[in-house]
Amino acid sequence: MRRPIIAWVSRQFHRIYYHWAGPQTWEVNQFLSVKVLKCPFDLWIYQEILFETKPELIIECGTFNGGSTLYFATMLDILGQGEIVSIDISPQEGLPTHPRARFIKASSVAPEIVAEMTALSQGKRTMVILDSDHSCDHVIKELRAYAGLVTPGCYLVVEDGNINGHPVFRKHGPGPTEALEIFHRENRDFEVDQSRERHLVSFNPGGYLRRK
């Protein structure tokens, strides 16, 4: 009985944290004075992953105002290696600057961008984060385009699988979780690392994929 109760409580807290408290919690989180729209539990997990896998390149699909890009670049600075390239079709104005960060204004699935990232990733330990358009159709396009760039032992992270009722934002429609269901039927190269969800609340349920 204990596990079902814990799961129920965590889902209820997740809904409260996301919907009702959201304007005072994750929606106003900042990193070095730049807004970063992520759950702090996930940010903690990210720094663990970075220090364990030591990527030389992070490809981030989805920039918005660049808070998470700055976070990752700062972690890479502490590691003393690596760069992050963040891609967004309509990023916000006034993006932060960091010597390890580069921003590209374009669609993440544009053939020329995928080709550029493919070339850039050659010979580098590569990690990919998908956090742009959260529709199922777009996420599965990103998964098909970028999964092959991830180095074995490194991570492909699909963000915001909590929407469309998993357990929040039920009205969204098919999103990252539904795209992952399609992806896992097509691709056997990744395993879901559920240990990354040990804090009980994650905006990326089922989304921490480690390449075998």
- Distance separating alpha carbons of residues 79 and 130, to the nearest angstrom: 22
**Percent of the residues in the chain that have a pLDDT greater than 70, as a whole number:** 100
pTM: 0.96
What is the arithmetic mean of pLDDT over 16-26? 90
* Domains, the chain, with CATH or none: 2-211 (3.40.50.150)
CA angle 170, 172, 176 (to 5 degrees): 100
What is the arithmetic mean of pLDDT over 24-38? 95
Q: Which amino acid is at 65?
A: N
pLDDT tens digits along 83-104: 999 999 999 999 999 999 999 9
The two three-digit tokens of residue 97, written as one number:
């600057």
Closest by CA position to 163, among listed 26, 15, 10: 15
pLDDT tens digits along 56-79: 999 999 999 999 999 999 999 999
Q: What is the mean pLDDT of the chain?
A: 97
The two three-digit tokens of residue 123, written as one number:
């010979």
DSSP for residue 16: I
CA angle 149, 64, 80 (to 5 degrees): 55
Q: How confident is the model at residue 22 (pLDDT cuts 50, 70, 90)?
A: confident
Q: Which residues contact 42 (CB under 8 A, 6 or more apart)?
A: 159, 202, 203, 204
Phi-psi domain of 48 (left: phi exceeds 0; alpha: psi -120 through 50; beta: other): alpha
